[in-house]
């Protein structure tokens, strides 16, 4: 059921709207120095979706302080992008999660669909099992779950920890949960 989400461009449009809302809140708060924030997006060339080559998805929302002498950059958390990784965050989560318990033939088909090599998939799994679990965010937030997701089954165990019905809702909640890891503007990542 999760693999079907990768084929739906509607999911990526919804994630883009969530990013825009998060960015709007950050812009309204302004800079830490009190200055106004001006648009200063980063160009991106995301992979892994049918919408990836669309102009609408080729920018990472970011701001720069208008105050002379400050010019601090503020990059809000994102549900669409996972830090500097080139694949959409939904692709990274879904394919990494499906690696557990899905027949290898199906994994190969999904990887081919979104252009992910087996080496890239192994790097993602390493990120989940090593870097993610050492992040300050995970260490601080893992206690909020009734049953702590199993480290060896990440990200599937984390995805299944969310109490929403339907894979799209669970995926959106997971992406919102890990969004603080997508930027250093809102605190340390890992």
Q: Is residue 8 assigned to a domain? A: yes
Facing residues of 43 across strands?
59
Domain encompassing residue 49:
2-180
Q: Write the pLDDT tens digit of every residue in 53-111.
A: 678 888 999 999 999 999 899 999 999 999 888 899 999 999 999 887 778 888 888 88
**Residue written as token pair 């290898």:** 104
Q: Is residue 99 assigned to a domain? A: yes
Q: End-to-end CA distance of the chain, in Å?
A: 31
Q: Give pLDDT, residue 103.
A: 80
Q: Give pLDDT, residue 48.
A: 81
| Cα 117–chain centre separation | 19
Q: Is residue 54 assigned to a domain? A: yes
| Number of separate domains in the chain | 1
With bands split at pLDDT 50, 70 and 90, how would you rate the model's confidence at 1? low
Q: Is residue 40 assigned to a domain? A: yes
Q: Is residue 188 assigned to a domain? A: no
Q: Is residue 190 assigned to a domain? A: no
Does residue 71 come out as left (phi exceeding 0), alpha (psi in the -120 to 50 range) or beta? left
- Apex CA 20: angle with CA 14 and CA 23, to 5°? 145
Q: Is residue 187 assigned to a domain? A: no
Q: Write the pLDDT tens digit of every residue in 50-61.
A: 665 678 888 999
Q: Is residue 186 assigned to a domain? A: no
More reliable by pLDDT, 113 or 167:
167
């Amino acid at each position: 059921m999760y693999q079907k989400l990768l084929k739906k461009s509607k999911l990526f449009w919804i994630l883009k709207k969530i990013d825009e809302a998060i960015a709007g809140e950050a812009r309204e708060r302004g800079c830490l120095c009190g200055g106004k924030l001006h648009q200063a997006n980063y160009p991106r060339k995301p992979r892994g979706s049918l919408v990836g080559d669309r102009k609408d998805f080729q920018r990472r929302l970011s701001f720069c302080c208008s105050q002379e002498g400050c010019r601090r950059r503020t990059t809000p958390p994102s549900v669409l992008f996972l830090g500097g990784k080139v694949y959409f965050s939904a692709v990274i989560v879904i394919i990494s999660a499906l690696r557990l318990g899905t027949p290898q033939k199906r994994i190969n088909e999904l990887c081919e669909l979104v252009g992910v090599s087996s080496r890239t998939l192994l790097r993602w799994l390493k990120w989940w099992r090593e870097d993610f679990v050492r992040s300050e965010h995970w260490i601080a937030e893992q206690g909020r779950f009734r049953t702590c997701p199993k480290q060896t089954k990440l990200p599937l165990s984390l995805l299944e920890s969310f109490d929403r019905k339907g894979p799209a809702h669970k995926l959106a909640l997971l992406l919102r949960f890990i969004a603080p890891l997508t930027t250093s503007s809102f605190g340390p990542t890992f």
